[in-house]
Amino acid sequence: MVGFGDSTMIQGETPQHQGRVVWLASFPKSGNTWMRAIITALRTHPHLFGVDQLSSGSQPNHVGMSLNAFGLDARWLTPAEIDTLRHALITHSGVIPELPDDQEFDDLAAVMERMSAPMFRKTHEVFRPGEPSIEPFPVEATRAAILIVRDPRDVTCSYAPFFGHSLEQAVESLAREGSETHANPALTQTAQPWGTWSTHAQSWLAPDVPFPVHLVRYEDLKTDPISTLLPVFNSVGLMCTEDELEAAIARTRFEKLQQAETERGFRETSPKTTQFFRSGKHGGWREELDERLVQRIEADHGEAMLQLAYPLENLESQLAPIRSARQSRRRQEQTAWKSLPPQLGLKVTVGPTPEELEGASHPRPWIQVTPDQALLTFNSGSRLLVSEGRKVQIDWEPDDSPSGDGDDPSWMLQGWAVTLSVLQRGMLSLHAASVRIGDSTVAIAGLRGAGKSTTAMGLRARGHSILCDDVTVIQFKDKSAWTTPYARNVHLLEDAATALGVDFDSLPRLSGGRPKVAFRPEDTEPDETKIDRIIVLAWAPPSTLIRVNHPAGVQRMNRLLAHTERDGIAPLVLGEDAYFTQVAKLADTVPITQITRPRGKWTLDHVLDLIENEAQK
């Protein structure tokens, strides 16, 4: 990437049949309005310029002008039809028409100049290609784009008051892809995706953008506006001298725009704030943002910030754990807590459950089991009823205590509900994390506290994929054991999160006062996969070394019993004979490796090396 603040073209050449439109692209609150004010001042007599007369304010997602252009009322169209209408409106005004051969003009040069003068159009959208006739930014109508970028730390400080957000909310908005409006024919608007602060800039600077893009940094516009803008304007056809540009900039200095807004108002001021032109400073974030928010912004956008020459305040070693945790939270936000793969065949509802099951067995005080139902009661008062292997009823009491996240019962569904349902269908549930290592799928089993989740996360850090944590569904077919991956949060203690490079305090706490947080790994394809090996993690006395052994005969089955009985529920639901038969079949079907570690005298990397080696066998 080259050309910070100068007229160097980032990529692309001026097309032979260039259009008129010059896109003024920016993420919201990055200086687009100031750029429009300078352009308007250049094209307006000094005595006629006013802050409420800024040109190029109509964004391309607004298609209401179709009534005047084509006699077409966009409110009667479908979302797909208004995408076509948007393309037609842009090309209608942006393509330079050919003059008829049989018509004479007194001043042909003046006519051509007027018809080919650049037409500046503001947009906050990400650049994206499209099919012919529905391109959001039609190539035939486009001459170039000017991308205005601003330090995201300063953007945050302007974004918050304009949209009526707190600074914390603004930080989240800059990092959330969902900050957009959707197509709405009733409002005569197409979709307007903003992307994140990072993806917005990256979309316009991508090498496949089919027209020239000029990069203008807000900070360069503040410190040296003439050197920054003069070559850019001349390149896109807004011809001006240095003196003319200097005069336009003088009329649009920030304090003058601010004064004009105070005296006469400004029509683009948000109803959620009293002032559009707030401070305009660059570097003002140092006075408004605390260290925690700065770290979040830099964790979210550090790569793009460095590409755009915005130095970071924090080291990568400080930002990486925060970035990992924040990416996890956003994955959680994008997935409804009731989401499970259709292959699991569960119908989930929320509502009251009975307090008792008549004739139930009690393998634990909090568990009630009958042949076709299971009822679990948790410390928080929440209950889970699973019936006939297909129906799940969650009677959920939010945990509003400081130690609980308070609004997400997914841990009940992803863990116990899946386990109970597969048992009721006659299958096994292995207390194990499943990980794809190369072409092999390995199930990592162990008792509570054995380090299954930590080990799975360690393998993820090495580039392997977590298929599911803690619950591995077992189904036999084709003389093999298969599992159905599904997205499930990984539950981590603080020391494990720290060791794995994940910021513990940035993740949601589990409810019920448990000292763990929920980490959402990347989703995987929910296709069934064959289990190639089971790794059993076990503890050994401190004086011993790490050992790897491959149990044989009845020892293979013994290694699996503790990891399949699921608090005594599996023998009750399946029946003891069926349960032992299935465990024996699993032991005979899948190779088993036991890794025994002395407490306190082993390293995670050593264990991960051993597991990767076993997966290759």
Residue 15 confidence (pLDDT) above 90: no
577, burial (CB in 10 Å: exposed 0-12, middle 13-18, buried 19+): exposed
CB neighbour burial string for 17-31, b if at least 16 within 10 angstroms, e if fewer = ebbbbbbbbbbbbbb
Highest mean pLDDT of the ranges 184-188, 205-209, 328-332, 449-453: 205-209
Sign of CA dihedral 239, 242, 248, 254: positive
Give residue 16's pLDDT.
Answer: 46
Q: What is the pLDDT of residues 338-370, one digit of tens each?
A: 778 788 889 999 999 999 999 999 888 899 999
The answer to whether position 164 is within a domain reads yes
More reliable by pLDDT, 115 or 615: 615
Which span out of 55-64, 303-312, 477-486, 503-512 was modeled with the highest average pLDDT? 303-312
pLDDT of residue 104: 64
Q: Are residues 400 and 485 in the same domain?
A: yes
Q: Any alpha helices (H) in 417-483, and if so which ranges? A: 418-424, 452-461
From CA 192, how far away is CA 214, in angstroms rounded?
22
DSSP 3-state assignment of 167?
helix
Are both 250 and 383 inside the same structural domain?
A: no
Mean pLDDT of the chain: 86
> Do the beta carbons of residue 576 and residue 569 sit within 8 Å?
no
If asked whether residues 258 and 360 sit together in one domain, one would say: no
Matching residue, tokens 């977590």? 466
The residue that leads in pLDDT, 112 or 224, is 224
374-394 burial string, b = 16+ CB within 10 Å, else e? bbbbbebebbbbbbebebbbb
Residue 310 located in a structural domain: no
Res 342: pLDDT: 83
Tens of pLDDT, residues 87-110 = 999 998 888 776 666 666 565 555
Q: Please compute the mean of the pLDDT values over residues 313-337 and round it to a whole number.
A: 90
Asked whether residue 294 is domain-assigned, the answer is no
- Asked if pLDDT for residue 50 goes beyond 60, the answer is yes
Kindly tell me if the per-residue pLDDT of 456 is higher than 60.
yes
Phi-psi region at 451: left, alpha or beta (left = phi > 0; alpha = psi -120 to 50): left
Number of compact structural domains in the chain:
2
Question: What CATH number is given to the structural domain containing 207?
Answer: 3.40.50.300
Per-residue pLDDT, averaged over 508-536, amounts to: 86
Tell me: do 269 and 385 sit in the same domain.
no
The domain boundary residue, chosen from 233, 256, 282:
282
> Does the structure show a pLDDT above 90 at 65?
no
pLDDT (0 to 100) of residue 280: 66
What is the mean predicted confidence (pLDDT) over 222-248?
93
Q: Are residues 278 and 380 in the same domain?
A: no
Judgement on whether residues 278 and 347 belong to the same structural domain of the protein: no
Per the domain annotation, does 3 fall within a domain? no
Asked if 66 and 181 sit in the same domain, the reply is yes
Coil, helix or strand at residue 614? helix
pLDDT, one tens digit per residue, over 111-152 is 566 677 899 999 999 999 998 889 999 999 999 999 999 999
Domain end residue (candidates: 282, 315, 334): 282
Per-residue pLDDT at 398: 62
Residue 456 C-alpha from the chain's centroid: 22
Instruction: Determine the pLDDT at residue 183.
Output: 80
pLDDT of residue 340: 80
d(CA 21, CA 554): 77
Percent of the chain surpassing pLDDT 70: 85
275 lies in the same domain as 379: no
Mark which of 282, 305, 328 sits at the end of a domain: 282
pLDDT at 405: 45
271 occurs within a structural domain? yes
Is 293 within a domain?
no
On whether both 89 and 233 belong to a single domain, the answer is: yes
pLDDT in tens, 150-207: 999 999 999 998 888 999 999 999 998 865 667 888 888 888 899 999 999 999 999 9
Which tokens in the block code for residue 97? 């028409």
Same domain, 26 and 135: yes
pTM, to two decimals: 0.82
- Can you give the residue range of the structural domain that contains 358? 342-615
Residue given tokens 């080919």 in the structure block: 116
394 and 273 share a domain?
no
Judged by average pLDDT, the poorest of 188-202, 313-327, 398-412, 527-541 is 398-412
Instruction: Examine residue 346 and state whether it is found in any structural domain, yes or no.
Output: yes
Higher pLDDT: 601 or 160? It is 160
Can you give the length of the chain in residues? 617
* Residue 477 within any structural domain of the chain: yes
Between strands 21-26 and 119-123, the pairing is parallel
How far CA 37 is from CA of 79, 96, 121, 216, 217, in Å, comes to 33, 25, 13, 15, 16
What is the per-residue pLDDT for 278? 65
Do 521 and 375 share a structural domain?
yes
